[in-house]
Structure 1
Amino acid sequence: MSDYTAPVRDMRFVLNHVVDLKALSELPGYDHAEPDLVDAILEEGAKFAGGVLAPINWAGDQEGAKLENGVVRTAPGFADAYRQFSQGGWNGVPFDPELGGGGLPWAVTIPLTEMWNAANLAFSLCPLLTQGAIDALEAHGSDELKAKYLEKMVSGEWTATMNLTEPQAGSDVGALRTKAEPRGDGAWLIQGQKIFITFGEHDMTDNIVHLVLARTPGAPEGTKGISLFLVPKFFVNDDGTLGERNDVRCASLEEKIGIHGSPTCVMSYGDNGQCVGWMVGEEMKGMRAMFTMMNNARLSVGVQGVAIADRAYQRAVRFARDRVQGRSLRPGGTGAIIDHADVRRMLMTMKGYSEAARAICIYNAECLDFARRHPDESVRRIRQGMAELLTPISKGFGTDIGVEMASVGVQVHGGMGFVEETGAGQHYRDSRILPIYEGTNGIQAMDLVGRKLTLNGGEPMRALLADIVATADIAQGAGDPAVQAMAGPLAEAADAAREAGEKLAAMLGSDMNGAGAGAAPFLRLMGLTVGGWLMTKAAIAAADLVEQGADDRPFLKAKIATAHFFATQIMVQAPALARAATAGAEPLYAIDDDVLVA
């Protein structure tokens, strides 16, 4: 159950030939991110993922985390694995070296994130949230809070959580009731309950830093009245040592269909009226601060979807190679089901979607790196706009294909896929939370249509489509017939995205419900188009390397073949999705509410 091999070759190829690792290494502060060092880091990360995290994945699923006398005991091996994770410096890879971090680009961190999550999704949720909290505290925290908490969060010595959801307030964060009362000395007394708090309590570190949304006295209703507070499990003394326990506890653990190794906690703050927190950022600006963390998490959750898709694909390929059933119609076939055309279609679908979504997430991260570090303000602005446009696509498309490819993986296994001992079912169960995390994918779709489509007057969308069309033109003139065949579907997808985008943007002013009705198919359309674009770029680069006589020709030819399959079998869905995206809301409401149940 522990056999996982990180797809380092594909990750390395995307970094060097789809995005521009060399250009990233020339940005201020990233000068050490040279290909040789990045290769070494990816190789070491692959060893840790396959050798430490993957072997405890099955036990984490079967035994899970347990709440005993107010203490959460994590699954067997988790605490030791986390100790190795933090001591190895993996938690701090993208953060400031002055805080003990590695100072590497997010575009390099994303492949590592995929490795951790493919090897052991439940375990990896813990550092994912800590990294998001670091971003939020670094951007909005006071100098005093940063000095007291950041370094140990970067090292991984302390972990962190994000506390938004309450029993009566799911995605409607503005309905929260948790209260914050000023104590008179700059601190606040926090009282309330939060649900679905990942790793809200555990035994892997000595302290946990909770970022908690709460409402201050006199604050207006809705999200405008929310503030963000840092609430530690243990108070921190001025010398950095831990003091008394804060008035915060885990009341219970949720029983879930998957990610059993990850404790999902109901957290109770201030049962005794003594829960103390400190404000992060300005009063009633909590959502702005929390969104710093959430945007980081949304890209990372998209990567989790990619991770599960690839892990399910690897398991399916191994099974298909070994499973002998039926008569092979393939000349020279072995009799294994991998010979059967329908099984081969499923495997190529899994491979194509996984590689396309991986490229989207790494490109998204590259845009963030340029937005943060490029010396030219105009480049930073353009790349920031592109990153904001891509984030809901990365999250929504990545997590949708995670679930879908895990399901396809079960199908490849046939009846054995429905039996727990094969492990295929765990990927499906684990992945199902991902389209719900960090804003459901319906919210991501609405964000894409309602905000990002028209961001900066539509500049990012226009720039993206121009880049896609330019790549289609290059493919059209390619010498490799397979690459040339990608040009037409890519150009058609770009046209479909442009037409649908223009119609949805027009709806925003007159028919918001119609735009909302088309949001989900439009997000899927954008995922296919952007993924197909990046796959075509990869194929062009691979074909050039083959022509130049590069080594590893089987890998390069497989890149071309996978991109060709994606373009001609998957991306061709784009025009149909454009029609669905622009059909308006009427088809959704053609049946009265009371008839829906009949």
Structure 2
Amino acid sequence: MTVYQAPLEEIRFALGVSRCMNDQAAASNFEADEVDAILLQCSKLAERVFSPLNALGDREGCRFENVVVTTPPGFKDAYSIFAKAGWNGLGLPARLAGQAMPFAVAISISEMLNSANLSLAMGLMPTPGAIELIDRFGSERQKQIYLPRLISGEWTVTMALTEPQAGSDLGAIATRAYVEEGSLFIKGRKSLITWGEHDLTENIVHLVLARSPSGAPGVKGLSLYLVPKLRLEGGSNDVKCIGIEKKIGLKSSPTASLVFGENGGATAELLGKENGGLEQMFILLNQARLRVAAFALGSAERARQAAVGYAAVRVQGRDAQGKPTVIANHPDVRRMLTSMEARTEAIRFLIAYAASFVDGAHASLAETKVRLEILTPIVKAWCTETGFDVASTGVQIFGGLGYSEECEASQYFREARVHMIYEGTTGVQANDLIFRKIRLDGGCGARKLFSSIETSLMSESSVDDPGLLFVREKICASLALLKELTDSIVVQNGARLARLRANGAHYLMFSGTVLACWLTWLAATRATASDTRVADEFSRRKRKNARFLAAQYLAPAAALAESALSSRMFDLCEAGEIE
């Protein structure tokens, strides 16, 4: 098992690049020395506390017996160390006893914990969003009861949305709230609830999306409820775990099926206004989607480190002089290692860039909010698809050993697969991007994003490196095609909309590839600049990765998007020449 090492230099650099591209981020409370200290402390937590439990957790998993879930040895202590150190409060405002760090810093912390032990880190993900929801929509009484316990980590929280018969169709939710003798209760069943039952804390607060007592059919009749596992006045709250999933990965992250109200009703509290549940959940989901992208980054980085370590010691074949050599010297393995490094780096840049807009969006800055809304589905889908492919490449580098359960590459591959499903599949993200974002405002928000990329590409007049000039040329050509496809998407109607829904994922992935290549190019130009003060080797790797990404991935993504979405394709479909 490779010993995880937090890539602190890479994380610091990504934060700096994202800050340069966002005036709001540059103006935020972002003290470099303070951030460096926080990153260093988290790296110690990740490397010394979380990581040693990773392989053990995958091997032993969680146990379910008599409605009780037991996590692997060491998990409870690791969580206690995390909570007592105050990590839940990193991104919270000072009035909530937080450290008020920008969201980009908070999500960088997540990367390290995700890489170190993804199963354990998944249980931490919903808490910051839940704290924000209760702070914004909760009554004073709810704030006094729930916020201190969630911030301290005394209680954990879940997002209880999914139901067996509904899946992603929230309008089909059947769990219902009802009033009896003046008290509010919840009755129904939820499935696939991450960390829905565990032994890390005594109490678990379930954020339950359910139909209001007089709620209309569909999504308009949904409200959000606080349903603790234990009643506030003491005793069980009729929330029962009936089993945990036997998954191909993330075996020490219990995914529970929960029954509410089987024996008389689970006591609940309405959060915010009645029938406003969907609006509130989307606030939580949008942040969660960026955090899932960070899950993918954790998987990719861990898989990359493992592949690099193995390729450096695995002797197989001979070099040009006929001497035995490690596989890292074989050209095809070098290509795969470069692809893993370049794409992992691109994922990190994309997440940092999107995260830099979160604080401005919270401050109700209209243009910042629109930019974040455009970026979120792209970042979630592109990063998770790419992260899984990076983990898959890691298995390839390990060869036959990589396909064995005894190999760490197998674990990272299995764990990375769920990211593309979690919090909305790639198809769901594509439909969100195209129909709820781009078409809804006539493509205005997307055009402003493209314009900012174009301005950035043209403003770096000092670029004289031939390789970076090549990359800029490639990005400019791809950006022109992306703008053309976006304009086409805005005007599609009738039967073509079904084709758009079927092929929207290709457009999203092309958009993500253009953004990734731009940010990687920008990073390379900043690393090359004389005043950046980065080591020559670091700068060289940044230029290499920018060239590799543009040369290897822009053209295939562009070809797929164009073939799926161009006017010519639609014309052929309507003429019946292709299906």
Shift of 1:508: 4.8
| Counterpart check, 1:400 vs 2:397 | no
Secondary structure at the counterpart of residue 421 of structure 1: coil
| Counterpart check, 1:326 vs 2:323 | no
Equivalent residues of 2:297, 2:387 under 8 A apart: yes
Equivalent residues of 2:391, 2:409 under 8 A apart: yes
**Aligned partner (choices 72, 78, 81) of residue 81 of structure 1:** 78
| Counterpart check, 1:350 vs 2:335 | no
- Unaligned 5+ runs, structure 2: none
Shift of 1:139: 2.6
How far apart in 1 are the matches of 2:34 and 2:548? 33
Shift of 1:286: 0.9
Equivalent residues of 2:396, 2:402 under 8 A apart: yes
What amino acid is aligned across from residue 275 of structure 1 in structure 2? A
| Counterpart check, 1:291 vs 2:264 | no
**Alpha-carbon deviations, 1:233-275, whole Å to 9, x = none?**
11225xxxxx222111111111111100001101010111131
Equivalent residues of 1:2, 1:57 under 8 A apart: no
Residue equivalent to 2:260: 269
Q: Point out the more displaced range, 204-213 or 218-227.
A: 218-227
Residue equivalent to 2:355: 365
Equivalent residues of 2:61, 2:251 under 8 A apart: yes
What amino acid is aligned across from residue 551 of structure 2 in structure 1? T
Residue equivalent to 2:524: 539
How far apart in 2 are the matches of 1:288 and 1:270? 25
| Counterpart check, 1:529 vs 2:514 | yes
How far apart in 2 are the matches of 1:222 and 1:569? 45
Residue equivalent to 1:196: 192
What amino acid is aligned across from residue 245 of structure 2 in structure 1? E
CA, structure 1 residues 508+389, in 2 after alignment: closer, same or farther (shift >3 Å)?
Answer: farther
CA, structure 1 residues 201+225, in 2 after alignment: closer, same or farther (shift >3 Å)?
Answer: same
**Aligned partner (choices 553, 557, 560) of residue 577 of structure 1:** 560
Residue equivalent to 2:98: 101
How far apart in 1 are the matches of 2:322 and 2:414? 37
How far apart in 2 are the matches of 1:575 and 1:265? 40
Equivalent residues of 1:515, 1:584 under 8 A apart: no
Secondary structure at the counterpart of residue 124 of structure 2: helix
Shift of 1:506: 1.4
How far apart in 2 are the matches of 1:70 and 1:553? 57
Equivalent residues of 1:518, 1:584 under 8 A apart: no
| Counterpart check, 1:8 vs 2:4 | no
How far apart in 1 are the matches of 2:577 and 2:260? 45
What amino acid is aligned across from residue 63 of structure 2 in structure 1? K
Shift of 1:189: 0.8
Residue equivalent to 2:159: 162
Shift of 1:24: 5.8
Residue equivalent to 1:217: 213
Residue equivalent to 1:139: 136
CA, structure 1 residues 393+22, in 2 after alignment: closer, same or farther (shift >3 Å)?
Answer: closer
Shift of 1:489: 0.9
TM value normalised by structure 2: 0.95
CA, structure 1 residues 589+123, in 2 after alignment: closer, same or farther (shift >3 Å)?
Answer: farther
CA, structure 1 residues 225+549, in 2 after alignment: closer, same or farther (shift >3 Å)?
Answer: closer
| Counterpart check, 1:414 vs 2:396 | no
| Counterpart check, 1:471 vs 2:456 | yes
How far apart in 2 are the matches of 1:260 and 1:586? 47
How far apart in 2 are the matches of 1:318 and 1:23? 39
What amino acid is aligned across from residue 391 of structure 2 in structure 1? A
**1:23-38 counterparts in 2 under 5 A?**
27=27, 30-31=28-29, 33-38=30-35
What amino acid is aligned across from residue 250 of structure 2 in structure 1? I
What amino acid is aligned across from residue 136 of structure 2 in structure 1? A
Residue equivalent to 2:168: 171
What amino acid is aligned across from residue 544 of structure 2 in structure 1? A
Q: Point out the more displaced range, 332-341 or 306-315.
A: 332-341
How far apart in 2 are the matches of 1:21 and 1:51? 34
Shift of 1:552: 2.0
CA, structure 1 residues 22+444, in 2 after alignment: closer, same or farther (shift >3 Å)?
Answer: closer
How far apart in 1 are the matches of 2:3 and 2:102? 29
Shift of 1:8: 1.2
CA, structure 1 residues 303+408, in 2 after alignment: closer, same or farther (shift >3 Å)?
Answer: same
| Counterpart check, 1:208 vs 2:204 | yes
Residue equivalent to 1:568: 551
**1:478-557 counterparts in 2 under 5 A?**
478-508=463-493, 511-544=496-529, 547-548=530-531, 550-557=533-540
Q: Point out the more displaced range, 259-268 or 138-147.
A: 138-147
**Alpha-carbon deviations, 1:346-375, whole Å to 9, x = none?**
1111111111111111111101122224xx
CA, structure 1 residues 561+509, in 2 after alignment: closer, same or farther (shift >3 Å)?
Answer: same
CA, structure 1 residues 48+584, in 2 after alignment: closer, same or farther (shift >3 Å)?
Answer: farther
How far apart in 2 are the matches of 1:327 and 1:475? 44
Q: Point out the more displaced range, 283-292 or 391-400.
A: 283-292
What amino acid is aligned across from residue 516 of structure 1 in structure 2? R
**Alpha-carbon deviations, 1:497-523, whole Å to 9, x = none?**
111111112115663212112211011
How far apart in 2 are the matches of 1:49 and 1:100? 23
Shift of 1:476: 6.6
Equivalent residues of 1:517, 1:588 under 8 A apart: no
Count residues with an aligned counterpart: 576
**Alpha-carbon deviations, 1:155-200, whole Å to 9, x = none?**
2221000111111111111111111102354x41111110001111
How far apart in 2 are the matches of 1:181 and 1:77? 40
How far apart in 2 are the matches of 1:43 and 1:572? 39
| Counterpart check, 1:226 vs 2:209 | no
Residue equivalent to 1:388: 373
**Alpha-carbon deviations, 1:67-100, whole Å to 9, x = none?**
1222111112110000011111112211122222
Shift of 1:145: 1.2
What amino acid is aligned across from residue 443 of structure 2 in structure 1? G
CA, structure 1 residues 18+191, in 2 after alignment: closer, same or farther (shift >3 Å)?
Answer: closer
Equivalent residues of 1:471, 1:536 under 8 A apart: no
How far apart in 2 are the matches of 1:560 and 1:426? 31
CA, structure 1 residues 401+209, in 2 after alignment: closer, same or farther (shift >3 Å)?
Answer: same
How far apart in 1 are the matches of 2:434 and 2:469? 32
Shift of 1:222: 1.1
What amino acid is aligned across from residue 386 of structure 2 in structure 1? I
CA, structure 1 residues 159+572, in 2 after alignment: closer, same or farther (shift >3 Å)?
Answer: same
How far apart in 2 are the matches of 1:222 and 1:327? 64
How far apart in 2 are the matches of 1:151 and 1:333? 64
CA, structure 1 residues 495+476, in 2 after alignment: closer, same or farther (shift >3 Å)?
Answer: farther
How far apart in 2 are the matches of 1:332 and 1:19? 49
CA, structure 1 residues 548+274, in 2 after alignment: closer, same or farther (shift >3 Å)?
Answer: closer
Residue equivalent to 1:119: 116
**Alpha-carbon deviations, 1:538-567, whole Å to 9, x = none?**
0110110xx348242211221121112112
Equivalent residues of 1:100, 1:155 under 8 A apart: no
How far apart in 2 are the matches of 1:585 and 1:351? 40
CA, structure 1 residues 279+548, in 2 after alignment: closer, same or farther (shift >3 Å)?
Answer: closer
